[in-house]
Amino acid sequence: MAVVREFTLPDLGEGLTEAVIVQWLVEVGEVVAVDQPVVEVETAKAMVEVPCPYGGVVTARFGAEGAEVPVGAALVTVAVGAVPDDLAGGGSGPGAPDPIPVPASPAPEAEGAEAADSGSGNVLVGYGTSGAAARRRRILPGAPEHSARRPTEPGPAVAAAAPAEADGTRTVAVISPLVRRIAREHGLDLRDVRGTGRDGLILRTDVESAIRALSEGRPAAVGAPVRPGAAAAGPVPGEERIPLKGLRGAAAAKFSRSRREIPDATCWVDADATELLAARRAMNAPGVPKVSLLALLARICTAALARYPELNATVDTAAQEIVRLPGVHLGFAAQTDRGLVVPVVRDAQDRTAEQLSAEIARLTDAARAGKLSPAELSHGTFTLNNYGVFGVDGSTPILNHPEAAMLGVGRIAAKPWVHEGELAVRQVVQLSFTFDHRVCDGGTAGGFLRYVADCVEQPALLLRAL
């Protein structure tokens, strides 16, 4: 006899609390194998294919593509031990009604005993599922038990699963536990918040806007900020609105926080990169693995951080302490179709230029394919930003919070330069260094940037660090 298992969105790690359904990889009635990916989701860190730890027939899907679902919400139900013929009565032909889940699974006691045999225990590489604790379904007051949860496919994911909280005729439309917790911690009454999501759903941004309004002494019953005259005039014809969620939303939140919290400063210097380019050509002899220019710059960064370790740090604002970090986890900015991401090379100080080149290439390919794991996008300690690929000379970048420093590299271009007392055409690059002024003063920042420029102009200086 088939046993129905409910697979929920697992804890994806790194403090992530929700994800957006990008694409369903299975259909209702389809047979899935253990650990087969069933849905692709986008978190604040990366695109992730979520594998199901059960094998059997998919009996229901929960959530439409584009819907945001919290961790712990149901994704699919799988009839373990069933074959497609077992579900024939549910109707699978054209025009048939949505399939109804197979009747309830065995009692929690029996279910817990079978969990180890029916599931793999794996969900994402490096994370995995938790123990097979019995889950309690939340039932609407006065509603029969069988109506507590229904498949929302193919409709929106914000169906009647959210409990209703009424004040007269006002219903609070909230589905995310995180949103409720934030409101509760700040003493905010959700009945005073106007939701900007679909069908008036209250989003996290609505709650955060209301909290800011209360702190500034304005009325809290404002949803998203409204442009002057927008309420009277309505939407502008032809305007396009792009939701700030997923990778784009996470980046926007991080940029804003960095600007609010970090008193940054930037210094610049021009450097003659002719000798560095010549050294790279000599390294990349036929028959050996190629070393990228970005890898050489990364190697220079690790040597400079070894000389100025106070820059490989962060600020613990709660404890009012500067935290100097032992390992260099080097992030580098990568532009993708989904926006800017910063993959991280772990323990960059222990890698050779050839090893750095190989790891940077691997992470870049994974970033462009949207296959980076959350761990590969987190816990960097220093960032290398090569904006020269866009054909520009300089920039004043925003620090990658909570890091304390970032080296920027502009384009390398032929320019007149005084070399050995004579005017010559040399390959010149502009270097910029942005730093958290709480961590160091201008002397340390200038010393770091000068050492980097010296290594660019005279790569042989790196031999002292070997």
| Tens-place pLDDT, residues 416-443 | 999 999 999 999 999 999 999 999 999 9
Residue 339: pLDDT band (50, 70, 90) is confident
Query: How many residues make up the chain in this entry?
Result: 466
Q: How many whole angstroms separate alpha carbon 381 and alpha carbon 462?
A: 21
pLDDT above 90: percentage of residues in the chain? 44
- Domains in the chain: boundaries: 3-80, 177-212, 263-464
Active site residues: 437
Q: How many whole angstroms separate alpha carbon 20 and alpha carbon 440?
A: 40
**Interaxial angle between packed helices 293-307 and 442-457, expressed in degrees from 0 to 180 and rounded to the nearest 10:** 140
Return the ∠ at Cα 82 (arms to 76 and 97), rounded to 5°. 55
Among candidates 293, 269, 271, 268, which has minimal Cα distance to 426? Answer: 271
Residues contacting 418, CB < 8 A, separation 6+? 424
Question: What average pLDDT does this structure show over 294-319?
Answer: 96
Q: Please say whether the beta carbons of 324 and 314 come within 8 A.
A: no
Give the pLDDT confidence of 440-466 residue by residue, as tens digits.
Answer: 999 999 999 999 999 999 999 988 766
Phi, psi for residue 118 in degrees, rounded to 5: -90, -20
Among candidates 277, 234, 241, 220, which has minimal Cα distance to 412? Answer: 277
pTM: 0.57
**Interaxial angle between packed helices 353-368 and 293-307, expressed in degrees from 0 to 180 and rounded to the nearest 10:** 120
Query: CATH: 2.130.10.10, 3.40.50.2300, 2.60.120.260, 4.10.320.10. Which one for 177-212?
Result: 4.10.320.10
DSSP assigned state of 124: S
Q: Is the model's pLDDT at 111 over the cut of 70?
A: no
Q: Please say whether the beta carbons of 77 and 6 come within 8 A.
A: yes
Q: How many whole angstroms separate alpha carbon 186 and alpha carbon 368?
A: 39
Q: Please say whether the beta carbons of 359 and 412 come within 8 A.
A: no
The whole-number pLDDT of residue 142 equals 45
Q: Please say whether the beta carbons of 86 and 79 come within 8 A.
A: yes
Peptide bond into 263 cis (omega under 30): no
Residue 213: pLDDT band (50, 70, 90) is confident
Residues contacting 119, CB < 8 A, separation 6+? 5, 34, 53, 54, 129, 132
Give the pLDDT confidence of 82-107 residue by residue, as tens digits.
Answer: 655 545 444 444 433 444 444 444 44
The whole-number pLDDT of residue 46 equals 74
Q: Please say whether the beta carbons of 12 and 124 come within 8 A.
A: yes
Structure tokens at 129: 């599922």
Q: 382-386 and 330-332 as β-strands: parallel, antiparallel, unpaired?
A: parallel
Give start and end residues of each alpha helix (H) in 47-173. Answer: 108-118
As beta bridge partners, residue 424 has 417
Q: Is the model's pLDDT at 115 over the cut of 70?
A: no
As beta bridge partners, residue 77 has 6, 60
Q: How many whole angstroms separate alpha carbon 160 and alpha carbon 230?
A: 31
Structure tokens at 279: 């050294």
Assigned CATH for 3-80: 2.40.50.100
| Lowest-confidence segment of 113-117, 119-123, 315-319 by average pLDDT | 113-117
Among candidates 131, 139, 151, which has minimal Cα distance to 27? Answer: 151
Q: Is the model's pLDDT at 171 over the cut of 80?
A: no
Mean pLDDT of the chain: 79
Cα separations (Å) of 159 from 61, 147, 149, 163, 164?
Answer: 13, 12, 10, 10, 11
Query: CATH: 1.10.510.10, 3.30.559.10, 3.40.50.150, 3.40.50.720. Which one for 263-464?
Result: 3.30.559.10
Q: 405-419 and 382-386 as β-strands: parallel, antiparallel, unpaired?
A: parallel
Q: Is the model's pLDDT at 293 over the cut of 70?
A: yes
Q: How many whole angstroms separate alpha carbon 70 and alpha carbon 84?
A: 30
Which residue shows structure tokens 């009424």?
A: 166
